[in-house]
Amino acid sequence: MNPADLSEDYQKKAIPAHLEESIALVRQIAQNSSDLLINPITVGGIHCAVCGCEGMFSTTIMTSLIIEPLTGIPAQSSSTDLFSHIQEKLLLSLDRPVVRNYGDFFRLLHSGFVILLAEGQSKALAFGVQGYEKRSISDPSGEENILGAQEGFVETIRTNMSLLRRRMKTPLLKFELSQIGNLSHTDICLCYLTDRVPPQLLRQIKKELAAAKLDTVLSTGYLQAFLEKCRGSIFDSVSLTQRPDVLCSKLLEGRVALLIDGTPFAIVIPKLFVENFQTLDDYNYKPFYAAFSRWIKYLAFLLAVLLPAFYIAVSMHHPELLNSTLLLILTKAEAEAPLSLPVETIFVLIMYEIIREAGLRLPKAVGGAVSIVSGLIIGDAAVSSGLISTPMLTMVAISVIAGFVTPDLNAPITILRILFIIAGGLWGLFGIGLLGMLALYNLAATENFGFPATAPLAPFVARSMRDVATRVNFRKMQSGNFTVEEYYEQNS
Amino acid sequence: MNKIHSNQLFCILLLSGAWSVICIPALSGTGQILGIAAACLMQILFCLPMLALAKQQGSFEKMIRSHKILGICYIAFFLLWGAQGFVQLWDVAPAQLLPTSGKLIAAILITLTCIYTSSCGLRATARAAPFVMGLFFLSIAVLILGAWKRIDLSRIALERTGFWDGVQIYNALSGELVIAFILLDKIKIKRSLAINSYLLSKAAFCILILFLSITVSGRLTELTDYPFFMLTTLSQPLQGQRADALYILVFVMLYIMHITLQTGVVGHLMEILFPAISRYASPASLFIMLLLAWMTNLPTTQGITSIALPVLAFLVPLLLRTKQFAKSIRKQHSETEFRNYDQEHFL
Amino acid sequence: MKTKLFFSIPFSIVLFLFTGCSTESIADRVYTQAIGLTCNKELSLYTQGFDEDSREPVTGASIAEVLRCEESVNGGRVFVGHTELLCLDGTCTLNPTEELLFQQGLSPACKILYTEPDAYFENADSTATVHMIRMSEQNGLLSSTELSTALQEWQGVWETALIPMQKETQDYPALVLLHKDGACLELSDAAAKGMYWLRRNTGNFTMTLDTADGEQDISIASCKLKKTIQNQKLYYEIKIKTKDSHEELRNILKEMILKQCHAAISEMHMANADVIGMQDLLEHENIELNKDFKPELEISVIVN
């Protein structure tokens, strides 16, 4: 068989009744792959074969739960009787689908099932004895918090489903498992609360997923593009989370989550811009402190995007905004710097981005060394050599640190910061105003499946201000039965 | 499930109107303040027909579909008004000391920005408006804070003259009422609340600016064409630091809202009248506005809006409402006749 | 093509910035702390930077021209937005200062001083001068003397502004009434102090009074000025709250303020000027004003 035609051919091919032919076909389709295990065995006097994929199932479980009971089956008159006996009198596994074609055969085989073929049967029995190596549940490294749970999603979709189920023991939480990817057959799982999810949202998400014709889905990014309806937006309209507790809170608000096998992140739809400033810890602290920290985050976002641009605009075009003492300090510092202020700032920012990238991709031990080299050696040397001025470096450092406060907005902050610097350098506050309006319109135009990213500020929902402008306590928060449907704006 | 919410309509109208107010030419005296208050009350009455008409949603759309020429008149008004806005920008730019190498460059940069903002649609404008409104309120608070210490009430002269000037100038600044008439179609609830809050807030803002100009700037107002910018120069909240350049931000944002709203409405009208070419309506209208402003010398205060406002925002809705009313009476009448005929002949 | 265009625009802007020709840097400008103007035949501009000696004066036909001239001398654009002191000698009044304010971005809060720029800038210490003016204002020795106030007064019917003048003989500034056309009258010490009470609300300072027992300090908590007009007659009521309850001391203060105010009014009438907001009051009664009109004025002082 031509490998190119393989993917189309075998999917619906029925399992032949003749065992040897069946095994030969399995070998042919798998192209004698080294991880394919086929063990001929006689069960109840009938010639059978147990098939598995090496490393995908647990040998111990298979031996104790499948092989041992199978060898104890008394002699059967036919393979039909044997299969009826196994299905009706033995409980070898809770998950034991019947396989009739090679599409299902290989999907289950590669998912850690053990499959029993028998002479004279045009079907096979699959037993779920998955036992592949997987990462144990650990801290969600990308979404640290202080007072919340220390459990994060892992790469195994079923473990992730169980993490959610443990927190929501209600039949209203529905999981819809399906496969996506022509080659990878990746398990994906839609999760939602049936009584809270806006039906039009669920319908549209399913439609979009059905339209996604991908060969493989290896991470969230593959599907994110299909779930973000707004093109050209610099802000995300779907969010990612690594935390089952955060995801539960999102589901409670009527959102839909998508779990993907092989990735420890869940996609949550829709995402509002204000969610970038909400963390799980906000709900663990006293309301007054949570409200304070939220306003700090808003301020940090503005500082991260605008501070260097304002500094440049004021220094270059509107020095009257500075008081005379500050003006003298800046004049003195800038007089010694060889580059123009915007160039100097962009240079420092690009250096920072390079260092950050280097630190991210390198092993942790070397990453630390990168920080030392960049921070101490390059930074100190650049300032003392007069290549860059201290006030400018201070501004950039404050801006970069402020950006760490809202990690979800890292990408838009990085790009906007540089664009604002250019606009501020060229046209001062006038340029910042122009670009500010462009960014604001970009945000205002961002919507996903009819849910505007600017909600609940625009459209304004006064009730939602209790978790945006401030954070009320749970006595008040528990009342109201809020769902995102309140923000839905029909397209016309 | 509204297309635009009433509070968003309030924001966009007020912001667009606020730009006209900050570009108000030199005024002084209580006579004009009274004139503005009277004009505001007059406009509240002006809006009654359009509010009555808006109860039947889709009536404006229906009207311009059946009277295309009227729709074209509205488009022409917005193009002229937009061009007037550009002329105003060129006049105001030197007062603001914009850091661009020329007023044409400033206009081109704004046009380029508006091409994008108007392509986002009216709904994006409506959503962006509350954010700009926040900044606008903040700047007004800073202005009042700075002006507070400098207010000298003895500078208010009780003049009776200037009342009609006030009425006329304020009406010329109220082109947003035409926009309101068009956009009311897109709102389901709280229409009158949005319109009346807009009218009262704008009048209050206008009176505040005039009051502060008179009491803070005093006779210095005579030295400038635009009292608002004089006021921002004089009202510094901090002693050792000036804040007037900060108003450039507000100025730019208000102006972009102003122009985007006009081009957005032109786009909306084109979509109804000529759907085939509506895609290019916004950039084309911006280009026409810029060209008109560059080639002609449109009056910046009175003129276009003073003439168009009573016709497009009052007479047209009034006529339409009257027509609707007459139609419903005729219908009622014919139904009664039909019923009488039925009773006479069949019962 | 679209993508290329999309990326080429910001890229070319960045390249443009890299040339270093885009705009001037903060250090490229020449900042002035004090400016002096004289208008004999030609306009002369004297400037002094922060913590610097005075620069060479430049001349030209207009403010724009002298600033351009100054640029070529100093090798950077002159930025007057931070100027704290404007020195005038009477030859230049409304027009050049107006141009500096509206077209060059001079701060309206800039202090104004009547002096000969030629002499002042020879050995100027503008930081000390500005400090002295500010302290005098705070201590009740001088009323507000900002550029915006002077411009307001020049714009009035009487076209005369009250401006401080530096005198070698005293450690606080004297005051002059400077007419728009250059005519100038130096106020007596009493009249200068009288102006302090008649111009605006003040308070929270300590002053020294001459009593029978020698010099005594009195703390002024607040000083409220109330201006009214009735039948074309102006009434100025000065209400003073002191932190001192000594009756005799309060009477001395009252007498002293009355004396100072009368001196101020009489000298103001002598100069045909209005620097105490008479015009605003008179306009309330729709009185036609002209330069020769001398309104009747009554002053009362209440000390609690």
Confidence of residue A356 (pLDDT cuts 50, 70, 90): confident
Q: In B, residues 88-147, which contact A (CB 8 Å cutoff)? A: 98-100, 106, 109-110, 113, 116-117, 120-121, 123-132
Task: Say whether residue A423 is in contact with chain C using an 8 A CB cutoff.
Answer: no
Bridge-partner residues for C230, per DSSP? C233
The answer to whether the beta carbons of residues B243 and B146 sit under 8 Å apart is yes
Residues in chain C: 304
Q: How far apart are CA A396 and CA A347, in angstroms?
A: 11
Q: How far apart are CA B176 and CA B313, in angstroms?
A: 9
The answer to whether the beta carbons of residues C229 and C282 sit under 8 Å apart is yes
- In the block, tokens 């996609």 appear at A267
- The residue extents of the domains of chain A are 3-128, 157-282, 285-445
For the CA atoms of chain B, what is the radius of gyration? 22
Give the model's pLDDT for residue B260: 93
Residue C262's Cβ-count burial label (10 Å; 0-12, 13-18, 19+) is: middle
**Number of A–C residue contacts, CB under 8 Å:** 64
User: Could you list the residue range(s) of the whole structural domain that residue B128 is in?
Assistant: 6-317
Question: Which residue numbers of C have CB closer than 8 Å to B's CBs?
Answer: 23, 81, 98, 101-103, 105, 107-109, 148, 151-152, 155-156, 227, 277, 280-281, 283-284
Give the model's pLDDT for residue B100: 66
Give the DSSP H/E element, type plus range, for residue A28: helix A19-29
Which has the minimum average pLDDT: A143-157, A418-432, B256-270? A143-157
Cβ within 8 Å, pair A433-B251: yes
Q: Taking 70 as the threshold, does the pLDDT of residue A1 lie above it?
A: no
Task: Say whether residue C3 is in contact with chain A using an 8 A CB cutoff.
Answer: no
Cis peptide before A456 (omega within 30 of 0): yes
In order of A441, A478, B209, B223, the CA distances from B163 in angstroms are 40, 56, 17, 22
Q: How far apart are CA B265 and CA B53, in angstroms?
A: 19
- In the block, tokens 């409200």 appear at A291
Q: How far apart are CA C81 and CA C41, in angstroms?
A: 27
Q: What is the complex's ipTM, to 2 decimals?
A: 0.90
Q: What is the 3-state secondary structure (H, E, C) of chain B?
A: CCCCCHHHHHHHHHHHHHHHHHCCCCCCCHHHHHHHHHHHHHHHHHHHHHHHHHCCCCHHHHHHHHCHHHHHHHHHHHHHHHHHHHHHHHHHHHHHCCCCCCHHHHHHHHHHHHHHHHHCCHHHHHHHHHHHHHHHHHHHHHHHHHHHCCCCHHHCCCCCCCHHHHHHHHHHCCCHHHHHHHHHHHCCCCHHHHHHHHHHHHHHHHHHHHHHHHHHHHHHHHHCCCHHHHHHHHCCCCCCCCCCCHHHHHHHHHHHHHHHHHHHHHHHHHHHHCHHHHHHHHHHHHHHHHHHHHHCCCCCCCCHHHHHHHHHHHHHHHHHHHHHHHHHHHHHHHHHHHHHHHHHHHC
Q: In A, residues 115-154, which contact B (CB 8 Å cutoff)? A: none
Q: How far apart are CA C229 and CA A48, in angstroms?
A: 117
- Provide the greatest CA pair distance for chain C: 94
Task: Say whether residue B7 is in contact with chain A using an 8 A CB cutoff.
Answer: yes
Residue B77's Cβ-count burial label (10 Å; 0-12, 13-18, 19+) is: buried
Pick from A320, A433, A457: CB nearest B242: A320
Pick from C17, C26, C50: CB nearest A324: C50
Q: How far apart are CA A217 and CA A260, in angstroms?
A: 8
CA distance A329 to chain B (A): 15
The answer to whether the beta carbons of residues A117 and A207 sit under 8 Å apart is no
Give the model's pLDDT for residue B2: 46
Pick from C103, C152, C227: CB nearest B218: C152
| Best C97, C148, C160 residue to mutate vs chain B (most B CBs within 10 Å) | C148
Neighbouring residues of A349: CB distance < 8 A, sequence distance ≥ 6: A308, A396, A400, A417, A418, A421
Pick from C98, C102, C280: CB nearest B155: C280
Sheet of C184-186: strands edge to edge? C58-60, C43-48, C34-38, C85-88, C111-114, C160-165, C174-179, C184-186
pLDDT in tens, A255-290: 999 999 999 999 999 999 999 999 888 888 889 999
Task: Say whether residue A325 is in contact with chain C using an 8 A CB cutoff.
Answer: no
Averaged confidence pLDDT in chain B:
84
Tokens matching residue A132: 């592949």
Q: In C, residues 35-94, which contact A (CB 8 Å cutoff)? A: 50-51, 79, 81-82, 84
- Please list, residue by residue across A400-428, b when 16 or more beta carbons sit within 10 angstroms of its beta carbon and e when fewer do: bebbebbebbeebbbebbbbbbbbbbbbb
Confidence of residue A222 (pLDDT cuts 50, 70, 90): very high
pLDDT in tens, B191-215: 889 999 999 999 999 889 888 888 8
Chains within contact range of chain C (3+ C-beta pairs < 8 Å): A, B
Task: Kindly state whether residue B328 falls inside one of the protein's structural domains.
Answer: no
CA distance A50 to chain C (A): 55
Q: How far apart are CA A346 and CA C11, in angstroms?
A: 12
Which has the minimum average pLDDT: A11-20, A413-422, B135-144? A11-20
What is the CB neighbour count within 10 angstroms for residue A260? 24
The answer to whether the beta carbons of residues B239 and A323 sit under 8 Å apart is no
Q: Which of A196-205, A337-346, B98-107 has the highest mean pLDDT?
A: A196-205
Confidence of residue C143 (pLDDT cuts 50, 70, 90): confident
CA torsion sign for A224, A230, A234, A237 is negative
Query: B307: closest CA among B182, B162, B171?
Result: B171
The answer to whether the beta carbons of residues A309 and A432 sit under 8 Å apart is yes
Residues in chain A: 492
Confidence of residue A451 (pLDDT cuts 50, 70, 90): very high
Cβ within 8 Å, pair B218-C280: yes
Q: What is the DSSP letter of A321?
A: G
Neighbouring residues of B162: CB distance < 8 A, sequence distance ≥ 6: B27, B28, B29, B31, B32, B35
Cβ within 8 Å, pair C25-A334: yes
Cβ within 8 Å, pair C152-B154: no
Cβ within 8 Å, pair A334-C27: yes
Give the DSSP H/E element, type plus range, for residue A178: strand A173-180
Task: Kindly state whether residue B339 falls inside one of the protein's structural domains.
Answer: no
Cβ within 8 Å, pair C155-B223: yes
Q: In A, residues 309-368, which contact B (CB 8 Å cutoff)? A: 314, 317-318, 320-324
pLDDT in tens, B91-141: 887 776 676 667 778 888 888 999 999 989 889 999 999 999 999 999 999
- Residues from chain B that touch A488, judged by Cβ atoms under 8 A, are 1
pTM score of the predicted model: 0.86
Cβ within 8 Å, pair C10-A422: yes
CA angle C279, C284, C288 (to 5 degrees): 60
Q: In A, residues 305-324, which contact C (CB 8 Å cutoff)? A: 315-317, 319-320, 324
- Residues from chain A that touch B5, judged by Cβ atoms under 8 A, are 459-460
Give the model's pLDDT for residue A205: 94
Give the model's pLDDT for residue A200: 92
- Residues from chain A that touch B267, judged by Cβ atoms under 8 A, are none
Pick from A434, A459, A489: CB nearest B110: A434
Q: What is the DSSP letter of C193?
A: H
How many domains are contained in chain B?
Answer: 1
Q: Taking 90 as the threshold, does the pLDDT of residue C51 lie above it?
A: no
Question: Which residue numbers of B have CB closer than 8 Å to C's CBs?
Answer: 94-95, 97, 99, 152, 154-155, 157-158, 218-220, 222-224, 233-234, 236, 239, 242
Mean pLDDT of all residues in B242-258 = 87
pLDDT in tens, C235-245: 889 898 887 76
- Residues from chain B that touch A320, judged by Cβ atoms under 8 A, are 242, 244-245
pLDDT in tens, C236-274: 898 988 877 678 888 888 898 899 899 988 888 888 888
Residue C265's Cβ-count burial label (10 Å; 0-12, 13-18, 19+) is: buried
Domain C188-304 has CATH 3.30.300: yes
- In the block, tokens 């339409």 appear at B320
Q: What is the DSSP letter of A407?
A: G
**Which residue from C minimizes the CA distance to A335?**
C27
Nearest 5°: phi and psi at A141? Answer: -65, -25
| Best A230, A234, A315, A437 residue to mutate vs chain B (most B CBs within 10 Å) | A437
CA torsion sign for A19, A25, A29, A35 is positive
Confidence of residue A206 (pLDDT cuts 50, 70, 90): very high
Pick from A327, A341, A426: CB nearest C25: A341
Angle between helices A341-361 and A410-445 in degrees, nearest 10: 110
The answer to whether the beta carbons of residues B312 and B318 sit under 8 Å apart is no
Neighbouring residues of B89: CB distance < 8 A, sequence distance ≥ 6: B103, B106, B107, B110, B255
Q: How far apart are CA B68 and CA C295, in angstroms?
A: 66
- The residue extents of the domains of chain C are 26-186, 188-304
Tokens matching residue B63: 């009207």
Give the model's pLDDT for residue B345: 66
- Residues from chain B that touch A454, judged by Cβ atoms under 8 A, are 127-128, 131
Confidence of residue A437 (pLDDT cuts 50, 70, 90): very high
Task: Say whether residue C23 is in contact with chain A using an 8 A CB cutoff.
Answer: yes
Task: Kindly state whether residue B330 falls inside one of the protein's structural domains.
Answer: no
Query: C255: closest CA among C212, C296, C221?
Result: C212
Q: How far apart are CA B50 and CA B320, in angstroms?
A: 9
- Residues from chain A that touch B246, judged by Cβ atoms under 8 A, are 321, 429
Task: Kindly state whether residue B325 falls inside one of the protein's structural domains.
Answer: no
What is the CB neighbour count within 10 angstroms for residue C242? 18
Cβ within 8 Å, pair C14-A334: no
Give the model's pLDDT for residue C229: 84
Cis peptide before A459 (omega within 30 of 0): yes
**Which residue from C minimizes the CA distance to A336?**
C27
Q: How far apart are CA B259 and CA B265, in angstroms?
A: 10
Cβ within 8 Å, pair A430-B245: no
Q: Taking 60 as the threshold, does the pLDDT of residue C19 lie above it?
A: no
Read off the amino acid at residue B273: L
Q: How far apart are CA C180 and CA C221, in angstroms?
A: 36
Query: A407: closest CA among A310, A282, A307, A304?
Result: A304
Task: Say whether residue C13 is in contact with chain A using an 8 A CB cutoff.
Answer: yes
- Residues from chain A that touch B250, judged by Cβ atoms under 8 A, are 433
